[in-house]
Chain A
Amino acid sequence: MDELITIEVDGVELPARKGQMLIEVTDEADIYIPRFCYHRKLSVAANCRMCLVEVEKAAKPLPACATPVMPGMKVHTRSPKALDAQQGTMEFLLINHPLDCPICDQGGECELQDLAMGYGSSVSRYSEAKRVVPEKDIGPLIRTDMTRCIHCTRCVRFGEEIAGLRELGATGRGEHMEIGTYVARAVTSELSGNVIDVCPVGALTSKPYRYSARAWEMRSFESISPHDALGSNLWLHTKANRVKRVLPRENEAVNEVWIADRDRFSYEGLQTADRLTAPRLRAADGSWREVTPAAAVAAAIAGLTGLPRGRVGVLTAPMATCEEGLLLARLAQVLGTPHLDFRLGQAEGDCEDLEPGLGGLGIEDVAQLDAALLIGCDLRHEIPMLNHRLRMAALRGAAVSVLGARQPQANWPLHHAFTEAPAAQADVLAGIVRAALEAAGRPLAADDPLAGVAVSSAQRECAQALVAAGRAVVWLGAEATRNAGYGALLALVRRLEGLANVQVGWLPPGANALGLSRAGVRPDLASARAGLSGLSAHAQLLCGLDGWLLLNCEPEIDSGLGARALRALSASRCNVVVTPWVSPAMERYAHVLLPAAIFAENEGSYCNLAGQLQSFAAVVKPLGEARAGWRWLRAIGAGIDPAAFPFETLADLHSAPADAAGLHRPTPSARSPVSTASAGESGAPRFFAEVSMYRTDALVRRAAALQATTHAGTAATLALALAPATAAALGLSATDAVQVSADGVDAGLWQVVLDGRLAEGIAAADVTHAGQVSLPLPGAELTLMMRVPAARAATAG
């Protein structure tokens, strides 16, 4: 279909595909044509006119970005006519551009500055007034200096075509045209930071990075994002041993040329005042003293080995590297405990999980899907760049349906959205699974619990789309993982595993769920080795153990259990905490604190959901005496059993065999897949645990700019979201204060927020803001007592 032709550029014959734009051909051949508005990942606008070139037999210079190649075309990119056109364009572009390069953050890496050097005149003929555009506040991440804008509209096209959310636009016309949001409004896209990269001038720059370094002062290092399991490739720019900013590193197979805002701005969490910089021990009177690393390791060994076998818990954030995971698994083995887990927030941790992953798909395959069903998966906020791929599929016509407790703000067309409380989700899924099996010609046995399930037309359409698709996926997401009813959903999803064209995947939160699973950091995998039944993270924290080894996590926040977790931790005899940060809570429950390196300071590898193993090196020195987690774990392990830890370097670790013998994939559970617990029997809403996209891990929770966005929420008032109908049934309205309790346990004072996207019969809360509160368990029935505000009570009295 791609007909090859030959064109001539600057006297050189070049092969080209018919229909290609001239600039694509010259870029491939390394012939540079200046440009501002053209971006190979965005549509062609041809509005900056900088790429004008001379084409023989054309009356006027033509823009290379919008001129399709023709056989025998003769192009001159540097002829007097072409240069004259380019220089003329540059002169016009500079008319209204302020010459404020010395105080512009883009200075030194500015496309306009570079091209002005090449094509601009050293003396301006323009002596009239330049236009000034007032600065616009578009949120805590992006700084605007729109006087510098040259109206290339790359940021506008990015919003429409990639982010799927057009927030920036060009309003006004002619001299008065401005790029902006028109009304004072913060941009909210989870990918908004990319407009900083596509902006060829200093009009859109990074707010947190502003005025803190110059491009030429920094060194650039490769890294991998620690926030979601796509494993976006990053450039870290450092100066004086500090990460100054994070940019996307091109990898077509993973993140193309983009990254999510969470990947871009989380580095701020590296340099917070609560970083732990030296090992510490807690004395009997509760006071802390700094000790040498050797003394701290000795105390950790003494503490952990002094605990009864099988009474130690090992918990890690899913941000841990594969190497850290491997050492944790081995340490658990040496300590004789099966209680190790990275699934900190998983409410039903004893179900037979799938292996994390896309279900055998590569990341690039996602854009080629024909149908998908996302279950409890707000993909746009859980794994933003994966959502981008799925959006490409949906825009191509893939039928993407969602089943969840909150209708997602999807930036692609939804096929069907089933919005149900977790307790009712299994019923909906059962209908879809039944319809899918029937559509695939797999009749159900008469005693099959699915045989009696009702199927609505929407469920049937969703199922038929999956079965009829050339390639389809069913994914369980982080939202499902976190809440009650997950086991029932999982059992149902497993019934689809036999269908040839439907892949079943699990997308748990965290960067390295697959790597840690493969390293054996899961109680179900450790149980067999230890001969004991391993407890999941939730079970450990709810039942209590005699001690814990914690890596890079804040269990009371990451688990969503709040003060329940704190009580268990405080009651134990020895907690060894390997952590980059120290919180007041940690100072109360920890016995040994070991300062860990994190993200840019750490080294190791992550395995993304497509199974790609990506390694990264430390690019800045860890703060103070902090060191890579694997070094602490190796030191502790070698002190207990040197034979089990023959590792000196990371390379030794890479060659070590993983302890996991592979996940066992049991046959579908025989228990009834249809949930019996229905919501609202007593009229009380059930608790629904959420984690917003900028609260997912300890690093991002400390990134100041991200925390200032509307997505992050606030700890100042704990917000309890209810569907308007649920609130009305309870006699509550927005901003009412309610005293929440579940099973007789008080869970503090919350403010009611109405959310029309939420399913009825549940009360949703971001659990990461309530680390000090005895949070209800997911699915627990809540008792809500309205608190009369003091002012109103006074009036009434």
Chain B
Amino acid sequence: MSGAEHDGAAAAAITEGEGAVMLSAHAREVIDAWLTRYPADQRQSAVLAALREVQHENGGWVSTALMDAVADYLGMDRIAVYEVASFYSMIETKPVGRHSVSICTNISCWLRGGEDIVRHVEDRLGIVTGETTSDGRIFLKREEECLAACCGAPMMMVDHHYHENLTLEEVDRILDELR
């Protein structure tokens, strides 16, 4: 995995302090907006939204320092944020590439050649699922379970966008367009 060069992206989202990091003004704004939906004594309800936003600003992953910042902002124990972040597969806790690619291999996609697509992409990119290309361009997420697009199987998700009824050529075209 070649995450090191993407750590630079983190600087946009955070302000380095004395060993600790601060949430960006925008992240705090987004979290505050979510907080209005929950009772005042249930601030931890916003943890998933907060992690999602912080991850988005931070180039697709959350560092321990950022999780600490979220915990402090929401008044949670830090370990409780680590638990949530490590539980949900949509939160990455290690540096990843610029584009996130998830290929579904659950039953409908599997019947329609999803596994062939995974193998093809792995060969083409020279990485296996869970890894990022050495140029930091593409992060191939660990095999994804059903993303609820069975009618368009086989499918994959690229940076939150669904691509359905895939062929190998179509996959190549989509991946080539990623910069």
Contacts and interface: CB of A to CB of B under 8 A. Distances in A.
Q: Are A and B co-members of a single complex? A: yes
B80 interface: yes
Interface residues of A, number: 13
Nearest to A169: B79
Interface stretch (B22-30, B81-89, B154-162): B81-89
A710 to B, nearest CB: 16
A171 B80 CA distance: 9
A166 interface: yes
A166 B87 contact: no
Which DSSP category, helix, strand, loop or mixed, fits chain B's interface?
helix
Contact of B79 (A166, A172, A173): A166
Interface size class of B (residues with CB under 8 A): under 10
A171 B77 contact: no
B82 A169 contact: yes
Contacts of B77: 160, 165-166, 169
A182 B79 contact: yes
Contacts of B80: 166, 169
A182 B93 CA distance: 11
Contacts of A173: 86-87
Contacts of A181: 79
B64 A183 contact: yes
A384 B124 CA distance: 60
Given A167-B79, A182-B79, A172 B87 contact: yes
Contacts of A183: 64, 82
Interface string B46-68: 00000000000000000010000
Contacts of A168: 79
Contacts of A160: 77
A183 B114 CA distance: 36
B141 to A, nearest CB: 15
A171 B83 contact: yes
B86 A171 contact: yes
B86 to A, nearest CB: 4
B83 A170 contact: yes
A172 B86 contact: yes
A167 B77 CA distance: 8
Nearest to A166: B77
A165 B77 CA distance: 8
Nearest to B89: A173
Interface string A750-786: 0000000000000000000000000000000000000
Nearest to B67: A182
A165 B83 CA distance: 15
Nearest to A160: B77
Contacts of B83: 169-171, 182
A183 B77 CA distance: 13
B64 A171 contact: no
A474 to B, nearest CB: 29
Nearest to B83: A169
Contacts of A170: 83
Contacts of A172: 86-87
Interface in B98-156: none
A155 to B, nearest CB: 12
B27 to A, nearest CB: 21
Contacts of B82: 169, 171, 182-183
Contacts of B87: 171-173
A198 to B, nearest CB: 17
A23 B86 CA distance: 33
A165 B79 CA distance: 10
Contacts of A166: 77, 79-80
B127 to A, nearest CB: 21
A181 B82 CA distance: 9
A34 B141 CA distance: 42
Interface string A142-180: 000000000000000000100001111111110000000
A167 B83 CA distance: 11
Contacts of B86: 171-173, 182
Interface in A93-140: none
Nearest to A183: B64
Interface of B: 64, 77, 79-80, 82-83, 86-87
29 contacts: A160-B77, A165-B77, A166-B77, A166-B79, A166-B80, A167-B79, A168-B79, A169-B77, A169-B79, A169-B80, A169-B83, A170-B83, A171-B79, A171-B82, A171-B83, A171-B86, A171-B87, A172-B86, A172-B87, A173-B86, A173-B87, A181-B79, A182-B64, A182-B79, A182-B82, A182-B83, A182-B86, A183-B64, A183-B82
Given A160-B77, A171-B82, 15 more contacts: A166-B77, A166-B79, A167-B79, A169-B77, A169-B79, A169-B80, A169-B83, A170-B83, A171-B83, A172-B86, A172-B87, A173-B86, A182-B82, A182-B83, A182-B86
